[in-house]
Structure 1
Amino acid sequence: MTVDYRSAALYPSRRSPVMARNVVATSQPLAAQAGLAMLAKGGNAVDAALATAIALTVLEPTGNGVGSDAFCILWDGRELHGLNASGRSPAAWTPDRFPNGMPERGWESVTVPGAVSAWVDLSSRFGKLPFDALFEPALRYARDGFLLTPVIGALWARGAKVLKDQPGFAEAFMPGGRAPQAGELVRRPDIARSLALIAETRGEAFYRGVLAQEIAAFARANGAVLTEDDLAAHENDWCGTVSSTYGDVALHEIPPNGQGIAACMALGMIKHLRLERFAPDSIEAIHLEIEAMKLALADAEAYVADPAAMTDVTAAHLLDEGYLESRARLVDEGRAQDFGAGAPKAGGTVYLTAADESGMMVSFIQSNYAGFGSGVVVPNTGIALQNRGLGFVTTPGHPNRVGPRKRPFHTIIPGFLTKGGAPLMSFGVMGGPMQAQGHLQMVLRTQVWSQDPQTAADAPRWRVTRGLGVAVEDFAGESVIEGLRARGHDVTVEAPDASFGFGGAQLVAKVDGGYVAGSDPRKDGAAVGY
């Protein structure tokens, strides 16, 4: 990637790329600084990423928490690793339990959380600092308080309106009967207790100890079937990555059950569409990107599931070069087409990336799914439980049909780029249906059009919805909006902060002597370094 960092900003953001030998980027500035503090203490990028992730459970509960799932791709200095720390359904879940489809909220949407196990496994295998040291910033903010930031404050208020009647929610997240407002001091002593127990026991309290007992007891009290045995049975997979190439650059994603494969598929189609002929913000380029993404998302919805259930159509089938070329031939450069279903459900997520001067780079994501997740909060723990059960379907014969001890289709995905087998960029775009779509846009902007990470994060985005539908940010420009409509797209125009539907990007690109980082202006976050 050859970029002129002296060039003027192309898009309406006042942010400049951050350049340093050690960097952290995420959606909440205090969390980014928590990671940087670990690097300053002699920790590595894994320590920084984990301290950031743990702090985010306190500082940004609208998108993640101790009750989240997580995925990670990391370069350890020599090779790439992929970790799937998503949880499975309770053993008692069968299709008959859900005659009206999968619920979005409440106990019947709760699967086993995997984030805590990700912290433990990553720290044990790659970290340098003591496990309990990673919790120090989070515990300080939980006990002493932090000032609520504007974007998170708006999401908190929105979530409270929907979830105030869910078990335990109001007590944990509506002190004084209302959601806290931006600028207010927020203390979370309940989550401090849980984090301290997790730190002291290296996660055992959550899966086999006192916290597991409290989670399971609250489930029984509310007629749910998540048990101590379900929590104790949880285990992660070191799963490697799936990948697709564009020229000499490879995009790496976590394999199914995640939707990252859709970004790989779309990129694999686009290289047959010769996108480099066009400018990055041209109607011609954007139209081709949208059409390829629609095809990829349609396939993801039809086939992606727990890999143990993908027996007829596997990840290898979906990434086969001949298949992707045949899909690309379906694209018409002059008109939009409806390729069927394929836009994932909305959700709330946090993404972070960290890199250190030894060469280690970490791409990490954790999420409660639909903003505060299920809405269920275990009393006296601050643990908001995810609603990943919503990712299942009840359609007979579908590989993603709900069943016992099964991983659902997942929206959260960390991304990573390599070139010639060497690390190039660690990145992600948090935000349910936006994630695979955002990954594609970040890859093309940085690698095809040589935009720096901050410029790529600043640029206007599009988002496929359903059928011919596509949402476009208002500053994409009238020519793009009308050009898409002229090709048959059903365009809705949104302000970047109207629905938080265009996600939040964080990117760290490797350059000689260090890194260049960018952080999305649509979020409260920051890229920091030294």
Structure 2
Amino acid sequence: MPVKVSIGCRGVTADHPLAVKVGLDILEDGGNAFDAAISISAVLSVVQPQMGGLGGDGFILGFIDDEIGAYASSGKSPSKFDTGRYLEEKPIRGPLTVTIPGLVYLWGQLYEEYASLPFDRLLKPAVDLACNGFNAGWFLSNSSKSYEEELIRYEWRRYFKGIKLGDLVVNREMARTLKLISSKGWSEFYDGKLAEEIVSQLRNQDVDVDIDDFRKHRCIRIKPLKMEVEDKILYELPPNTQGVSTLQLISALYELDMGRFPFDDNGRIEAWSKTVEEVYEFRDRFIGDPNYMDINIEDYVTYQSLRTFRYGDKRKGSAISGGDTTFFIVSDGRAFIGFIQSLFYPFGSGLIAGGFPVQNRGTGFAKEKGLPNSPAPCKKPLHTLSILAVEDGSRRYIIGCVGGDIRPQLHLRVYENIFTYSMSPAEAVDAPRFVYTIPRGLQRVVVEKPLKPPLSKNIEAVQVKQYDSPGYVHVAVIDKTGRTLLTNDPRSEGIALAIR
């Protein structure tokens, strides 16, 4: 299956063709990468509502004004969040899993600091698609069918039940929400009549939230984590994200000389077993809302550093989520950014407000007391969203994916394909992969053919066809002249397009 590749000075790779088209339209109309990013993000909220949107969070990482930069807009649990009930019920969906959506605030922050086109121009394509409709792609139709039984009890059923491939999908309620944000400004979502409507709708679905929870939300500029390996500089998002896990895995690639294995050697898969287990154990014990963490995360970006901890009894193994996220990269020849947004699980909590699904990011809290990621009111849960950026001499790379908890492994797979196995970005994205979907205890690894599964009795191997493992990875690389190569994973329904 061919990788989708495009080369030019300005371009977009994203998970849906309509989002890519809109991004290029903005760039051709004189907009910059941030104008395009806001417009792409809004369109993806409409055409892939199961993946991310107005009811979810967002992060960016990229090269801005020739320097690395990052923003985080991750919502907290409501001020009246019931910790005891959460620990008793351990919910996956529903009202107890709702955290305050951050994506619209990220739009506002980027618009205020960088955008050049009018805000209503940036949201108009999304408004039009929501109002007039679009034809459902295979990803949305598959998600509608796959999660119907799980979500039928929630308000979700009135909006997204029974969507089939090619159906005309119209969501005038979401169109109205987007139009209000467009005409009154992004702050309307957090401190206006629209915010009051959203809070009222959530309360009617048993979410104990009030308008002050929305008013207090903030998007912040953050300092990316940094690690130097050989002649490269790597960057990832800091906590409350799992970005440090990516750096720890890549550090292990060098510290343990994992490159000694040929690419197609099944001993390579088994060799990663212990490392993956240790990295996820560290994440789940020590990472969460930075205001609750006891360690300086910058001291633990390497694999060697995390091994200084004594963990005691290892935790029981359980499946980790592939999550549902949408990730895109946009370049205007100067700014070069990765943008990721998510509801966590497909369609989030199952609750709907303003026509859009609301995230279940609260599911990311630990299900026990005494950890940095234990549940509490006004607290950010551990976030699976992260983005990898690499400086390699005169070339800069951005690597990101749909992947949930397995995201650090997907970042590692593509990174090692490029820098250890000397693949091009297109080859690196296309190559067969393996990911541990149960990283601890009796581990489970999903292995794409023609790779051979490991032989260890301590690892349950599930072999699948090539392109059938979870997650989609997109990679872009820009050189010092601004020439950008963008790739799009053949496992996704998206495309990559670039122009002069």
TM-score by length of 1: 0.88
2: CA distance between counterparts of 1:320 and 1:441? Answer: 17
The residue that corresponds to 2:497 in the other structure is 528
Q: Percent identity?
A: 28
Alignment partners' CA distance in 2, 1:23 and 1:159:
33
Partner of 2:472: 504
> Following TM superposition, by how much is the alpha carbon of 1:464 offset from its aligned partner in structure 2, in angstroms?
1.2
Q: Which residue of 1 aligns with 2:339?
A: 364
Spell out the pairing of 1:279-290 with structure 2 (5 A cutoff): 279-290=262-273
Question: Contact conserved, 1:101 with 1:393, CA < 8 A, in 2?
Answer: no
**Would you say the 8 A contact 1:351–1:366 is kept in 2?**
yes
Distance 1:497 1:275 in 2: 23
Query: CA separation of 1:165/1:428 partners in 2, compared to 1, >3 Å: closer, same or farther?
Result: same
Specify which of 287, 291, 298 is matched with residue 274 of structure 2: 291
On the 8 A contact 1:67/1:114 being kept in 2, the answer is: yes
**Partners of 1:434 and 1:322 in 2: CA distance:** 21
Q: Which whole-Å CA distance do the structure 2 matches of 1:44 and 1:90 have between them?
A: 35
* Structure 1 range deviating more: 466-475 or 253-262: 466-475
Tell me whether 1:443 sits opposite 2:425 in the alignment. no
Instruction: Say which of 172, 186, 211 aligns to 1:228.
Output: 211
SS of equivalent residue, structure 1 residue 271: helix
Matches within 5 A, 1:119-518: 119-166=107-154, 168-174=155-161, 179-311=162-294, 313-319=295-301, 322-324=304-306, 344-357=320-333, 359-378=334-353, 381-420=354-393, 424-466=396-438, 467-477=441-451, 480-481=452-453, 484-486=454-456, 488-495=458-465, 502-511=470-479, 513=481, 514-518=483-487
| Unmatched 5+ stretches in structure 2 | none
- Equivalent residue number for residue 74 of structure 1: 62
Contact 2:57 2:342 in 1 (8 A): yes
Moved more, 343-352 or 18-27: 343-352
Query: Which residue in the other structure is 1:113 paired with?
Result: 101
Q: What CA distance in whole angstroms lies between the structure 2 residues aligned with 1:51 and 1:527?
A: 16
The alpha carbon displacement at 1:496 in A equals: 5.5
In the superposition, relative to structure 1, how do residues 456 and 314 fare at CA in structure 2: closer, same or farther (>3 Å)? Answer: same
Listed one character per residue, the Cα deviations across residues 210-232 of structure 1 (whole Å, up to 9, x for unaligned) are: 22111211233233211111011
Q: Deviations over 1:457-482 (max 9, x none)?
A: 111121212224233243233xx21x
3-state SS of 1:17 partner: strand
Q: What's the secondary structure of 1:476's corresponding residue?
A: coil
CA contact 1:262–1:297 (8 Å) conserved in 2: yes
**Are the aligned partners of 2:136 and 2:169 in contact in 1 as well (CA < 8 Å)?**
yes
So what's the TM-score if we normalise by structure 2? 0.93
* Structure 2 match to 1:3: none
Check the 8 A contact 2:321/2:406 in 1, yes or no: no
CA offsets, 1:219-247, max 9 Å, x none? 33233211111011101221121122331
Structure 1 distance, partners of 2:87, 2:150, is 24
Residue aligning to 1:24: 12
User: What residue identity is the alignment partner of 2:486?
Assistant: A
In 2 relative to 1, CA 262–320 (structure 1 residues): closer, same or farther, beyond 3 Å? closer
Deviation digits for residues 281-303 of structure 1 (CA, Å, limit 9, x no counterpart): 33343333443222211110111
What is the DSSP-based 3-state SS (H/G/I as helix, E as strand, rest coil) of the residue aligned with 1:444?
helix
Letter in 2 for 1:148: A
CA distance in structure 1 between the aligned counterparts of 2:96 and 2:458, rounded to whole angstroms: 40
User: Given the superposition, is the C-alpha separation of residues 321 and 296 from structure 1 closer, same or farther in structure 2, using an over 3 Å criterion?
Assistant: closer
Q: Which amino acid aligns with 1:350?
A: T
CA distance, structure 2, for counterparts of residue 470 and residue 251 of structure 1: 29
1:128 & 1:519 partners in 2: Cα distance?
27
Letter in 2 for 1:360: A
Secondary structure, counterpart of 2:398 in structure 1: strand
Kindly report the root-mean-square deviation, in angstroms, between the aligned alpha carbons of the 2 structures: 2.2
Partner of 2:473: helix, strand, or coil? strand
The alpha carbon displacement at 1:161 in A equals 2.9
1:337-382 deviations in Å (ceiling 9; x for gaps): x88658643421101111122x21111100011100000012xx21
Q: Structure 2 counterpart of 1:492, which letter?
A: V
Task: Out of 287-296 and 318-327, give the one that drifted further.
Answer: 318-327
How many Å apart are 1:84 and its aligned residue?
A: 1.1
**CA–CA distance in structure 2, aligned partners of residues 290 and 373 of structure 1:** 30
CA distance in 2, matches of 1:250, 1:131: 35
Q: Is the Cα contact below 8 Å between 1:91 and 1:405 reproduced in 2?
A: yes
- Please state how far the C-alpha of 1:321 moved relative to its aligned partner: 6.9
The alignment partner of 1:367 has SS state of strand
Question: 2:152 & 2:466 partners in 1: Cα distance?
Answer: 27
Distance in 2 (CA, whole Å) between partners of 1:124 and 1:344 is: 37
What does 1:27-66 correspond to in 2, within 5 Å?
A: 27-66=15-54
- Are the structure 2 counterparts of residues 271 and 227 from structure 1 closer, same or farther at C-alpha, using a change threshold of 3 Å? same
CA distance in 1, matches of 2:307, 2:251: 8
For 1:476 and 1:293, locate their aligned partners in 2 and report how far apart those are by CA, in whole Å: 22
Tell me if the contact between 2:190 and 2:214 (Cα under 8 Å) persists in the aligned partners: yes
How far residue 512 of structure 1 moved from its aligned partner, in angstroms, is 5.7
Residue 91 of structure 1: how far off its partner (Å): 0.6
For 2:328, give the aligned amino acid. Answer: L
Q: Distance in 2 between matches of 1:353 and 1:147?
A: 24
